Amino acid sequence: MNRKKNGSNVRFGPALKAVLICLITCSLGLGYVWQKQQINTLGGRIKENEIKLEELRRVNKDLGDRLAYLMSPQELDARLRHLNLDLQVPLPQQIVVLVEPRHSEARTRTSEHQADLRTASR
C-alpha cells in the first residue's frame, strides 16, 4: 500500500509544476503586453505635449514680437498722434533724480529712526 501512495504523490508533483510554470509564463506575458501598452500610451501623451509646447512657443514668440512692435518709438509716436495726447519730452529742470542710499547708510538711518520710535514689548 505504501508504494501506491507514493506513486500518486509523484504524479501530482509534475502536474503542479507544469501549472505553475504556465501561470508564471502567462503572467509575464500579460505584464509585458501591459507595459508595451503603457509605453505606447505615454508616447502618445508625450507627442501631444510636444505639439502643445511648440504651439505655445510660437504664440509666445508672436506675442513678444507684437510687444516689441508696440513698444517701438515710432509706434508710440503714432499712437500719441492718433489719441491727440499732448505729451512732450520734459525739460531738464523738470526731471528729479532720486539717489538711493547705499546699503550700509540705509541701515544706520533705519536704526536711528527706530531709536526715535516708541514700541511696546511683552
Give me the mean pLDDT over the 74-86 stretch.
Answer: 90
pLDDT at 62: 98
Give me the mean pLDDT over the 70-94 stretch.
Answer: 90
- Say whether pLDDT at 34 is over 70: yes
Domain residue spans of the chain: 19-75
Give me the mean pLDDT over the 32-36 stretch.
Answer: 98
Of 21-35, 87-101, 104-118, the range with the highest mean pLDDT is: 21-35
CA distance 19 to 50: 46
Please tell me whether the overall predicted TM-score, pTM, comes out greater than 0.85 for this model. Answer: no
- Say whether pLDDT at 27 is over 80: yes
Please provide the average confidence, as pLDDT, over all residues in the chain: 85
Query: Cell 500518486 sits at which residue?
Result: 8
Give me the mean pLDDT over the 94-99 stretch.
Answer: 92
- Say whether pLDDT at 67 is over 70: yes
- Cα torsion angle, 50, 56, 62, 67, sign: negative
N-term to C-term CA, the chain: 96
Q: How many residues does the chain have?
A: 122
